[in-house]
Chain A
Amino acid sequence: MTPLIRLDRATLGYGSPVLRNVSLEVRRGDYLGIVGPNGAGKTTLLKAILGMVKPMDGTVEVPRTGHRIGYVPQRDALDTLFPLSVLDIVLMGLYHEIGPVARPRAKHRAQAMEALGDAGIADLADRSYSSLSGGQKQRAIIARALASRPETLVLDEPTNGMDLPAEESILVLISHLHDEHAITVLFVSHLLHVVINNASRIAIVSDGTVSVLDREAIISGDHLSTVYGIPVRVARVEGRAFVIPGPAPADPAP
Chain B
Amino acid sequence: MSWHEVLLGLKLNQVGLLAAITVALTCAYLGVYVVLKRIVFVGMGLAQVSAAGIALAFLAGPWLAGQAHRYVHAGTPLRHVGFCFEWLAVRPVLVSFVLTLGGVWLFARHSRSRTLPRDSIIGAGYVAAYALTLLFILRSAKGMDDVRELLDGSVLASTGADVALMACVFGGVLALHAAFYKQLLFVAFDPEAAEARGYRVGRWELLFYVTLGLTITVAIRHAGMLSVFSYLVLPAMTGLTAARRMGSAILVALASALASAGGGFVLALKWDLPLSPPSIAVGLGLLLAVSVFRRSA
Contact = CB atoms under 8 A, between A and B. Distances in A.
B39 to A, nearest CB: 12
A71 B36 contact: no
Interface in A50-90: 50-52, 69, 71, 73, 77-79, 81-85, 88-89
B193 A71 contact: yes
A101 interface: yes
A95 interface: yes
Contact of B189 (A92, A98, A128, A154): A92
Interface in B176-196: 179-180, 182-183, 185-186, 188-190, 192-193, 195-196
A98 B190 contact: no
Contact of B240 (A78, A81, A92): A81
Interface stretch (B8-16, B42-50, B60-68, B243-251): B243-251
Interface in A142-187: 144, 154
B194 to A, nearest CB: 8
Contacts of A252: none
A248 B111 CA distance: 48
Nearest to A156: B192
A50 B130 CA distance: 43
Interface residues of A, number: 28
Given A81-B240, A100-B180, A101-B180, A88 B246 contact: yes
Contacts of B75: none
A77 B240 contact: no
B227 to A, nearest CB: 25
Interface string A95-109: 110101101000000
A154 B246 CA distance: 28
B200 to A, nearest CB: 11
Q: Which of B182, B188, B243, B244 has the most CB of A within 10 A?
A: B182
Given A100-B179, A101-B179, A83 B190 contact: no
Nearest to A144: B193
Contact of B186 (A81, A83, A95, A128): A95
Q: Which of B38, B196, B243 has the most CB of A within 10 A?
A: B196
Nearest to B37: A79
A93 B196 CA distance: 11
A100 B38 CA distance: 26
Interface of B: 35-36, 38, 179-180, 182-183, 185-186, 188-190, 192-193, 195-198, 240, 243-246, 248-249
